[in-house]
Amino acid sequence: MVQRQLPNPAELFELMKFKKPDLNSKRRRLESALTINDLRTVAKRRTPKAAFDYTDGGAEGELSMNRARQAFEDITFHPDILRPAEHVDTSTEILGGRSALPFGIAPTGFTRLMQTEGEIAGAGAAGAAGIPFTLSTLGTTSIEDVKAANPNGRNWFQLYVMRDREISYGLARRAAAAGFDTLMFTVDTPVAGARLRDKRNGFAIPPQLTLGTIINALPRPWWWIDFLTTPKLEFASLATTGGTVGDLLNAAMDPTISYEDLAIIRDIWPGKIVIKGVQNVEDSRRLIDLGVDGIILSNHGGRQLDRAPVPFHLLPEVVREVGKDATIMVDTGIMNGADIVASIALGAKFALIGRAYLYGLMAGGREGVDRTIDILRVEIIRTMQLLGVSSLDELEPRHVTQLVRLVPLTPSLRAAQAGLTS
């Protein structure tokens, strides 16, 4: 029989301690976000649909984007037991410098449209965290202003080779003069991908007002106040700032880029150079043989060719082909620190985050980017401790098994199917 009694008021008060209310609404919503998906939810609530969808969407049916995210979910970790990992070292050497974490911020275009602090928030947060920040050719903050926002940190510059080659060469020279230490030559964007969300939303620069956009903006006055009361968008490269996103991208890209352009840019650029957008083993081997400082396995966040290879799936094969000492980096689909740990275990030297950074930016400006980095840091440390490793160097392929959903149709299967239909 349970013995019952009247509650003791002293004990009751001890058990029922109320949390002190936080009157800072930004801090409240960011602290309540425990994952990158939580930040995405906040970002979607606070950002007009057209701007949010530009970040959140991919090309055509968004298969490349969704498959990349699914690939990171389809893994099994294999932890070691009785391996103390009380203190975890997450730092790594990448492209001639130290990074406090095994990831940096990827280049993103039109960033200030997502949230007015834009690249300044990203560069400042990256500098504070001790990780690299990458400015896009289609960024909305100048090279010099990014340098000013992150004067002592590592700044990288992403370069598109445009129809007017001298514009691209001039940008490379400006970035070098400003002290950017790495050039990220992007090769997977000869033309703009078909970003259907943007077309359906009528997304343009500057934003085009319709009845739908006005209705969607009404519950988000802060975004419009920020947009209208801050300086006009400034692109790092484009002389014109008007038109649809597809128009602007196609004006900047050139489908005729080749290895000859790579040779010219290598002559211009004094620092490290990496090639972004590599999507097969053969190109990986050729680029490493040519002596580039690194390659980034990437399908542009699923924003270019839909049904493109999944970079995380490609990673082990490329590492086997070019050797584990080559600098292989990976992006696309990273939404959790465990995704980064798995990539390092399978041979990547570094990872880059794009959407995850922008979700944080839209959720809370600079503080939101800080929150993104902190969430990923905590997830990386916890995953490593649970695996029983104290440093990134201890991660090995044996720690990760990639599970398979979509497998290639083999010749034997095709022949069998042909026999059934004949």
Residue 135 to residue 158: CA distance in whole angstroms: 6
Q: State the DSSP string of 222-274.
A: HHHHHHHTSPPP--SS-S---EEHHHHHHHH--TT--HHHHHHHHHH--SEEE
List for the chain the helix, strand, coil content (%; round to 5).
50, 10, 40
Residue with tokens 């720690």: 399
300 is catalytic: yes
- Which two three-digit tokens encode residue 112? 């200030």
Q: Show Cβ contacts of residue 204 under 8 Å, excluding neighbours closer than 6 positions.
A: 242, 243, 244, 245
Catalytic residue among 78, 87, 300, 399: 300
Q: Which two tokens stand for residue 31?
A: 């602290």
**Token pair belonging to 284:** 């990986």
CA distance 221 to 54: 19
Alpha helices in 259-328 (DSSP H): 259-268, 281-290, 311-322
In the chain, what is the greatest distance between 2 CA atoms, to the nearest angstrom? Answer: 88
Q: Which residues are catalytic?
A: 300
